[in-house]
Amino acid sequence: MGSASHNARTEALMEKTIEQANVKGRSLWDDARARLMRNRAAVASFVLLSVITLLAIVGPWVWPHEYDHVYKSKVGIGPTLEQLFIFGTDSQGRDLFVRLLFGLRVSLAVGVIATFVSLVIGVIWGATAGYIGGKVDEFMMRIVDTLYAMPFIFFVIILMVVFKDFTTGRPALNILLIFVAIGAVEWLTMARIVRGQTIALKRKEFIEAAEAAGVRPFTIIRRHIVPNVLGPVVVYVTLTIPSVILAESFLSFLGLGVQEPLTSLGKLISNGAQDMETMPWTLLFPAIAMMVTLFCFNFIGDGLRDAIDPKDR
């Protein structure tokens, strides 16, 4: 009787083990995605940001008004459905809605591309310094400390002023300079984050196994270090984009950013601030658009941080 009961328990345990083995395992990224999807604020922000991005890309092409077309008889009219001036016009008679969509396009492009520039430089710099260590690490991080000592906006303004004559009358080159100027200083924090993560990783068993197998240092950095620091980097990227958008807006507000006839959120807010007493809609709508966009990026960044944080798994 006891033997039969023991055999039954053994068979039940074996069946349970087989069932568990057949269940498809979930990776850490799958678990993080599931946790992110349960964050309603992050999901709603992602959907809203996707809609805003789609409107910014497609809207200026399908809207009946051009972003740079001047309607001399429609200067400074308020929001109206007549002829689809739903956000009114600015002080020069240009449709504010299509200019807002175009400004969103430029600001998002500056935010994403300048952040990508800082991502590439910061990850390479930080991973190299952290993995090699020693005098190389000390020399590379002293460069970072020296650049950190310079005021961020002051450094960007110097670059913009030095190359202003070269970019005057060339709006595309001016935007390219903004990409480079902001991205060239935003990488400093990224490099410090990646360096810290790399120092924590380089004594792990899989890194030591790769070293023992004779894998070259830069191959280890590319194949093992960089993929394993992407979690914190992705979170920081989502929080860097809004700060870059704000930096570009500040430059445009000072007149050092996007040149006419192109526009950005900062340029629209700057123009709206000059006309806020007589045409408050020219300031209200761009300010709301910037606020909503920045909130979306911050909620997404918070959601990613909570989803990737190993302490919450």
State the pLDDT confidence band at 287, using cuts at 50, 70 and 90: very high
Determine the pLDDT at residue 22. Answer: 45
Determine the pLDDT at residue 11. Answer: 55
d(CA 148, CA 128): 19
Determine the pLDDT at residue 4. Answer: 53
pLDDT single digits (tens) 183-198: 778 888 889 989 988 8
d(CA 78, CA 112): 33
Q: Enumerate the domain spans of the chain.
A: 1-27, 39-312
State the pLDDT confidence band at 116, using cuts at 50, 70 and 90: confident
* Residue written as token pair 């023991």: 6
**32: which residues sit within 8 A by CB, 6+ positions away?**
231, 304, 307, 308
- The mean-pLDDT minimum among 161-170, 270-279, 298-307 falls in 161-170
The letter for the amino acid at 41 is: A
State the pLDDT confidence band at 29, using cuts at 50, 70 and 90: low
State the pLDDT confidence band at 18, using cuts at 50, 70 and 90: very low
d(CA 36, CA 60): 32
Tokens at residue 174, please? 């001016």
Number of residues that this document lists for the chain = 313
* CATH code for the structural domain at 39-312: 1.10.3720.10
State the pLDDT confidence band at 283, using cuts at 50, 70 and 90: very high
Q: Is residue 117 a contact partner of residue 78, using CB atoms and an 8 Å limit?
A: no
Q: What is the mean pLDDT of residues 11-18?
A: 50
Burial class (CB in 10 A: 0-12, 13-18, 19+), 43: middle
**Of all helices (H) and strands (E), which one includes residue 22?**
helix 2-22
**Percent residues over pLDDT 70 in the chain:** 87
Which is nearest to 128 in space by CA: 204, 200, 207, 220? 220
pLDDT single digits (tens) 89-112: 998 999 999 999 999 998 898 888
pLDDT higher than threshold 90 for residue 305: no
d(CA 274, CA 70): 19
Question: Average pLDDT over the chain, rounded to whole?
Answer: 82
User: What's the CA angle centered on 90, arms 85 and 96, to 5 degrees?
Assistant: 45
Determine the pLDDT at residue 20. Answer: 47
d(CA 152, CA 42): 29
